[in-house]
Chains A and B, each alone.
Chain A
Amino acid sequence: MNDEIFDLESRLAALKPRPVSSALEPAIARAAIRPSRGSVSFFWSVAASGAIAASLIVAMLMGRPGRDARAVPLAQVVAKVPAGSAPLAVLARADVRWGDDFGLNDNPSRP
């Protein structure tokens, strides 16, 4: 059995494949110089992903409510500042929460 198989392998190996055409080598060389379809599509997918990410970031920043929306309107704070108050109290009133943090708003001696 092994001899038969060895003989068949020899007969098969003796069959010569058809030669490749002479135009194949220059065609491969030409195609190798051009950027591959894979690298071109990779470039475009990276570019598209970057553009989408940038758009999302811009949209998030533009749609985000500003800090001023949560803060006490400036006009209300300024309107409550009496004339002639101590400079520190005036500064604290510029942001009511800061004044609370420092206990300035609860100072009974404050005018």
Chain B
Amino acid sequence: MPSLSEPWRALLARHGPALVIFARQWASSHADAEDALQDGFVRFLHARRRPEDEVAYLYACVRSAAIDAARTRDRRKRVDERRAAPEPVFADVPAQMELAASVEAALARLPGEQREVMVMKIWGELTFSQIAVALNTNPNTVASRYRYAIERLEAMLADEVRHE
């Protein structure tokens, strides 16, 4: 059975779970997100030159693979997926299930450009500079998107607590 060499295996183990959440923004299921991660990781491995920041470049590859997959996905399949029950994004931890569901719903309501920054910062633990490289933008824009995202998320979660 083929296997990855140690540095790539470590990179996948370290960033794989966060990359699946990242890819879920464009995929409707965990399996589709893993497919996008696979495709993105292969693109990363086939890069002609080694990037300066491998983690940022890996995120860029997975992003591009997930967007391509979402574009080419069969329309009928997408309709079927919308009818299917949503899969949780976070691990099933009984003490966190309520918060996880609220955060998932709040994330879905964020604009895409804020959501992707939020996912890379919180779960990917990337710096603003790395996120800027991955998104091909500047760190100030990234920091600004993150600030808006966290404030909106905070407001949405606070609203939810008030309504309970």
Contact = CB atoms under 8 A, between A and B. Distances in A.
A9 interface: yes
A17 B21 contact: yes
A5 to B, nearest CB: 5
The A interface, classified by DSSP as helix, strand, loop or mixed, is helix
A15 interface: yes
A67 interface: no
Interface residues of B, number: 37
A29 interface: yes
A8 B43 contact: no
A6 to B, nearest CB: 10
Nearest to B19: A20
A16 interface: yes
A27 B38 contact: yes
Given A28-B42, A32-B42, A18 B17 contact: yes
Interface stretch (B86-94, B109-117, B134-142): B86-94
Given A24-B12, A25-B3, A15 B42 contact: no
Contact of A8 (B20, B38, B150): B150
A8 B17 contact: no
Given A28-B4, A29-B4, A20 B42 contact: no
A106 interface: no
Interface string A22-41: 00111111111100101100
Interface of B: 1-4, 9, 12, 16-18, 20-21, 30, 34, 37-39, 41-43, 45-46, 88-91, 93, 96, 99-100, 103, 122-123, 150-151, 153-154, 157
Interface of A: 4-5, 8-9, 11-21, 24-33, 36, 38-39
